Amino acid sequence: MNDLDQFGVTAEGFVVKGIDRIVADQQARARAMFGSDVDLTSGSALRKVLDAAAVHVHELWRGLEAQYYANFATTAQGPGLDLLGTDLGLPRRPLQAAGEISLALTGGEPERRVILPEGTVIETVDPPRKRLRTTSAVRLVTGAPPTTVGVRAVERGPDGNLAADRSLRLEPVWAQLHLNLGAATVKPTNPEPVVGGELLEPDDVYRSRLLGVPRTLWTQEAVLAQILDVPGVRDAAIFDPLGGVDASHSRFHTYLFGQRTFAPQRQIGSPYYFEVVVAVEPGWPWTPTDGDIPAVHDAVLEVVRQWRPVSIFPEINPANQVDVGIRATLLIQAGHDPDAIRGEILAAVQTGVDRLRLGRAVLHSDLVLTARSTAGVVDVQNLRLRRCAPAFGDVSHAGAVFGNAQELSVGENLLLAPDEIARFALDSPLIDIQVSSQ
């Protein structure tokens, strides 16, 4: 029997028998039963019965194929993927409701400009309060028409849905800490409802979560998987000096194993601490005093407490956020809108930087490629990366720099320490892009 005659479960996976092979096999059995001279032409009654049965047999093969691949997280879909998640104790999560609201700046000085950052917290005035976060920065001007901005519910599920024309306001505690409005006020309205919380996360997102579920209780991967599932966490890293070998150190490949210990041993009976660094999404408060929505620090602490072994205690710190900027000169084709090209490039750069994880460098080549891939751009000249490190830092594991701004050389990458994460704001003063037409 050759490979073409193997159907069903094989070494290469499940092979479905094609309808042409099913028809040929049925005709061969009909000749064996009724004789070689049986009428199997297209107009015969027997041929029509066999063809109708072949369609149902082929559907049965396809159902068997789906049943086979539903046993694996990498290939399961829909209800099959849900069953695998049930076995792992990880159900499919609902989505966060999304929509748009209008923001207007009133009061204060005429023509005053205010920039609300990404993650600005909006809440309903009347209880039970529902809270939303803006998905992008927005610029408001006193007396100007309302500006529309996208929002996403803080809470997952149907409870995050918001009916149209609800009374809204800026979350007072968050606004007091992050904004300086003075006598001006921001009036949010939602002419359209914010919906989508009743939907469930798609298969690709759910599959990636299932594949990341650790199969052991106490490993860095097990704790990290739980931390990344906390609302408001952008990324996290665990520094566990006594829990395993860190192969990222330069001395790892030259160390004389067997002659001396790689790391100091833990003293019997003494408590052992490990450190967790957490990068927070824009708008989420780190402690309860930073805002009225659930604080990330307390949520992470509660998760780690449930997963830590006896006498193993966490020290949880926020990641050091590094503001990234660029300075460059763009040469564009005549007839293109310079402001539109500049805005498109900045939006693409922000999307790329937001995908970076803790310690991941911002590459000069990525920014050059992003700019040159924009329609209308002829050349990118003298592109330099800029960084503004945070003025304060709670933890530093690998040489983080605080309190000073830097402009790198042309072609130089912006390297980050393991406890740093890049942030690119569209309204950053570190952005200086000059545009000239060809």
pLDDT digits over 211-252, tens only? 877 666 666 777 888 888 888 899 998 876 655 444 445 554
pLDDT value at residue 2: 44
| Higher-confidence position of 195 and 245 | 195
Round to whole Å and give the CA distance between 398 and 99.
Answer: 41
Round to whole Å and give the CA distance between 276 and 266.
Answer: 19
Q: Which residue from 163, 170, 178 is spatially nearest to 131, judged by alpha carbons? A: 170
b (16+ CB within 10 A) / e for 136-174? bbbebebeeeeeebbbbbbbbbeebbbeeebebbbbebb
* Residue 20: band (very low, low, confident or very high) from pLDDT cuts 50, 70, 90: confident
C-beta separation of 324 from 390 below 8 A: no
DSSP for 242-294 reads: TSS--TTSGGGGG--TTTS-SSPPPPTTS-EEEEEEEEEPTT--SSGGG-SSP
Round to whole Å and give the CA distance between 365 and 78.
Answer: 39
The beta strand positions in 135-217, using DSSP E, are 138-141, 147-156, 168-170, 185-189
What structural domains does the chain harbor?
3-69 (no CATH), 96-189 (2.40.30), 214-318 (3.30.70), 320-437 (no CATH)
Round to whole Å and give the CA distance between 392 and 321.
Answer: 10
C-beta separation of 187 from 106 below 8 A: yes
Supply the pTM of this predicted model: 0.66
Query: What backbone torsions phi and psi does residue 369 show, to the nearest 5 degrees?
Result: -65, -40
Residue type, 61: W
Condensed to tens digits (0 to 9), the pLDDT of residues 77-129 reads 888 888 888 887 788 999 999 999 999 988 877 777 888 888 889 999 888 88
Condensed to tens digits (0 to 9), the pLDDT of residues 40-71 reads 887 788 888 888 888 888 888 888 888 888 88
* 149: pLDDT strictly greater than 60: yes
